[in-house]
């Protein structure tokens, strides 16, 4: 039910939602303009634009809670994918501390600036 309130707020029965959301769901469902906009916009854009904190504080908080779940799940899956790549059979001798450092680099949001590093060192191709 909690996810249905977030994903399809116009299809839930107000009597079946938690007490703290009933009034806001009823108010939302009675607004034809909001319903028309809901049908024409992506879900997150709809909540960001039209479910404002002044009119729907509880519903907005509920929506933000469920919208954040998907982003954090994606980050976790991405991290464990990098872990799997780093700890494969070809890298079986990695120690935990080396693996931790490698994962810190892999998950860092800082861009690598290779050009200055390559100017400082002379690299020779191996034969």
Domain annotation covers residue 110: yes
Q: How many domains are contained in the chain?
A: 1
End-to-end alpha carbon distance in the chain: 64
Plot region of 8 (φ>0 → left; ψ -120 to 50 → alpha; else → beta): beta
Domain annotation covers residue 23: yes
**pTM for the whole structure:** 0.55
What are the CA-CA distances from residue 88 to residues 76, 95, 98 (Å)?
Answer: 19, 13, 14
Domain annotation covers residue 103: yes
Each residue's pLDDT tens digit in the chain (127 positions)? 888 898 899 999 999 999 999 999 999 999 999 999 998 888 888 888 999 889 999 999 998 888 877 666 666 777 777 667 666 666 666 666 766 776 666 666 656 566 665 666 555 555 4
Q: Residue 104 corresponds to which tokens in the numbers above? A: 């810190």
Q: What does the alpha-carbon distance between residue 42 and residue 56 come to, in Å, rounded to a whole number?
A: 19
Domain annotation covers residue 47: yes
Determine the structural domain holding residue 13 and report its residue range: 2-120
Percent helix, strand, coil in the chain (nearest 5)? 70, 0, 30
């Amino acid at each position: 039910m909690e996810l249905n309130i977030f994903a399809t707020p116009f299809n839930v029965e107000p009597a079946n939602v938690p007490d703290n959301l009933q009034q806001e769901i009823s108010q939302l469902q009675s607004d034809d303009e909001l319903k028309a906009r809901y049908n024409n916009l992506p879900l997150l854009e709809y909540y960001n634009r039209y479910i404002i904190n002044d009119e729907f504080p509880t519903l907005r908080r509920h929506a933000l809670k469920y919208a954040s779940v998907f982003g954090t799940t994606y980050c976790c899956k991405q991290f464990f994918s990098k872990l799997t790549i780093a700890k494969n059979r070809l890298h079986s001798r990695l120690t935990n501390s080396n693996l931790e450092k490698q994962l810190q680099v892999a998950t860092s949001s800082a861009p690598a600036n290779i050009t200055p590093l390559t100017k400082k060192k002379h690299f020779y191709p191996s034969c």
